[in-house]
């Protein structure tokens, strides 16, 4: 059955993405690239021939998964007789209209139409369809035909040109995840009401500068991705999203830590990568269930000692800030598994041997002059990065480090100095 699956290489995807986004630029003049592009197009045509040969030759009931990506398709192939299909992948083609209305697929569960040129989609009512991906197409609105899919759980509409969330989304009561990253979404009060029941909401990269005042209506949301927007504050109602477990504010414009977050005691994950935070309030210690805290790429000069009260914290990333000191109280956080304080201004570190669960430690690009030899004896460490520090070591010690690195590599561990 392997011959049924027509796989893409990463190079194929790179070429097609660049073509459809109009981003080839200077490469258009590169004859070597054009020759390679021609070869890719030939591969797609060969895939298309293989696809139609297989669809013609195979017994209809023996095909449950069809991967027809990168097959130079401009229309949906005739799949009417393949009643056992559960998954269809038509990504990386040249589809502009995807019309499935006359294709009755009673067992279809997953439909992948990524990286095409789709502007219109038509579907019959598929009783078992749970997942649709229309990532990177040319949709200006969410297709109305999706409202027929009453058992839909996952809907990926990322990288399109969608501006609004229609009313019918509210009626898809089985929907668990909607991905609207990188669109032109107007996230207003109506939009908040229409996705209020969805557990995982991804609306990053939409240039959203403020959240609607009625954000608390989103009672069902458990994971919220607001990364790569233009937020600098949160409405008071955000503090009432009590079901929220994970929230991403990656690459926004926060200069102060929003107090509304401090009331979300059920949070597991909090991401403030790439903002402009200067201080972290001590009340962060109230987030007792926090397991992952990402504060990298800010302007933080000091950490509150209350962070040590986060007894569930396992991943702590505070790299690329302005910390002059390694907090001693971190040695009491014995539950930590990954710790990254790289790219700060730390000149010395305390004894970390109490951190028995620590597997990843990154201290690169700091100001440490004394090499922390004892770290090499922490056998639970799988990754230790110390490069970019002004260590004063002799040639003999350097030779020892090289031998230790080889020993680590032989055991599948990584030492970088």
For 57-97, the DSSP string reads: HS-GGG-SEEEE-SS--SS----TT-TT--EEE--SS--SE
**Is the pLDDT assigned to residue 224 strictly greater than 70?**
yes
Helix or strand holding residue 403 (H, E): helix 395-410
**Is the pLDDT assigned to residue 41 strictly greater than 80?**
no
Any idea where the domains of the chain sit in the sequence?
A: 1-184
* Coil/strand/helix, residue 189: helix
Average pLDDT on 59-72 reads: 93
The predicted pLDDT at position 5 comes to 34
- pTM for this entry: 0.88
Note the helical H segments in 171-259. 189-194
**Superfamily (CATH H level) for 1-184:** Ribonuclease Inhibitor (3.80.10.10)
For the segment 187-221, what is each residue's pLDDT rounded down to a tens digit?
Answer: 999 999 999 999 999 999 999 999 999 999 999 99
Q: Percent of the chain beyond pLDDT 90?
A: 86
Give strand ranges (E) for 101-146: 110-112, 120-122, 131-133
């Amino acid at each position: 059955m392997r011959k049924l699956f027509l796989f893409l290489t990463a190079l194929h995807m790179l070429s097609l993405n660049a073509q459809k986004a109009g981003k080839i630029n200077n490469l258009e003049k590169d004859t070597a690239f054009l020759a390679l592009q021609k070869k890719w197009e030939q591969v797609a045509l060969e895939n298309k021939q293989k696809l139609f040969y297989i669809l013609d030759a195979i017994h209809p009931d023996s095909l449950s998964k069809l991967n027809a990506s990168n097959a130079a398709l401009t229309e949906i192939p005739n799949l009417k007789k393949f009643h056992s299909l559960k998954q269809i992948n038509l990504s990386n083609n040249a589809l502009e209209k995807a019309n499935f209305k006359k294709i009755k697929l009673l067992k279809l569960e997953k439909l992948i139409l990524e990286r095409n040129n789709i502007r219109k989609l038509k579907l019959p009512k598929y009783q078992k369809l749970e997942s649709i991906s229309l990532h990177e197409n040319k949709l200006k609105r969410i297709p109305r035909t999706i409202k027929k899919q009453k058992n839909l759980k996952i809907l990926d509409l990322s990288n399109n040109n969608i501006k609004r969330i229609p009313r019918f989304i509210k009626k898809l009561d089985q929907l668990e995840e909607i991905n609207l990253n990188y669109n032109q979404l107007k996230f207003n009060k109506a939009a908040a009401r229409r996705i209020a029941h969805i557990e995982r909401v991804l609306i990053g990269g939409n240039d959203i500068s403020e959240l609607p005042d009625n954000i608390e209506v989103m009672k069902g949301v458990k994971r919220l991705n607001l990364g790569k927007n233009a937020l600098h504050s949160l409405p008071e109602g955000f503090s009432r999203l009590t079901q929220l477990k994970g929230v991403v504010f990656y690459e926004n414009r926060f200069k102060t830590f929003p107090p509304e977050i401090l009331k979300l005691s059920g949070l597991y994950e909090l991401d403030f990568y790439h903002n402009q935070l200067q201080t972290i309030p001590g009340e962060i210690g109230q987030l007792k269930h926090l397991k992952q805290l990402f504060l990298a790429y800010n302007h933080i000069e000091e950490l509150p000692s209350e962070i040590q009260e986060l007894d569930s914290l396992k991943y702590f990333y505070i790299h690329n800030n302005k910390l002059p000191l390694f907090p001693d109280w971190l040695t009491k956080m014995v539950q930590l598994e990954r710790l990254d304080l790289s790219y700060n201004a730390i000149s010395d570190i305390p004894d970390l041997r109490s951190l028995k669960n620590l597997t990843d430690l990154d201290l690169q690009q700091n100001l440490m002059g004394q090499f922390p030899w004892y770290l090499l004896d922490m056998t639970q460490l799988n990754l230790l990065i110390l490069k970019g520090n002004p260590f004063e070591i002799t040639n003999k010690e350097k030779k020892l480090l090289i031998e230790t690195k080889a020993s680590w590599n032989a055991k599948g561990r990584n030492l970088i100095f």
